[in-house]
Amino acid sequence: MEVQMLFRARELGPLERRMGPVGKDQHVVRHDEGWAVKGSGNEKATAVFRTQAEAIEAGRRIAQNQGSELLVHGRNGRIRSKDSFGRDTLPPRDREH
């Protein structure tokens, strides 16, 4: 699956110029047919998978490619884990991995 980076049409601020363009955060959420990867703010799913593990793997690839975050939601809809793939020069300490 090829993923293209989306660029903002407005002028980039100093922090964005330093970090480079950032894509939409990717959410792994429940779907009628299993689990879906959705870009933040999107109504439609980017892709739908049978298992959450497959959706997480695809969402991780997209987030890495776009330099954004991966947010994994549990069955109850609440965020159960986050992973950042941004280009932050001073990222917060990773408490999960």
Q: What is the pLDDT of residue 6?
A: 45
Residue 90 belongs to a domain: no
Closest CA to 27 of 55, 66, 64, 67: 55
**How many domains, the chain?**
1
Residue 16 belongs to a domain: no
Whether residue 32 contacts residue 77, with contact meaning beta carbons closer than 8 Å, is answered with no
Residue 97 belongs to a domain: no
DSSP letter assigned to residue 51: S
Strands of the sheet with 26-31, listed across from one edge: 47-49, 34-39, 26-31, 69-73, 79-84
Domain interval for residue 75 = 22-81
One digit per residue, pLDDT tens: the chain, 97 residues? 444 444 444 454 554 444 455 689 999 999 999 999 999 999 999 999 999 999 999 999 999 999 999 999 999 999 999 998 876 666 666 676 6
Q: What is the pLDDT of residue 88?
A: 66
Closest CA to 58 of 68, 43, 48: 48
Residue 93 belongs to a domain: no
Residue 15 belongs to a domain: no
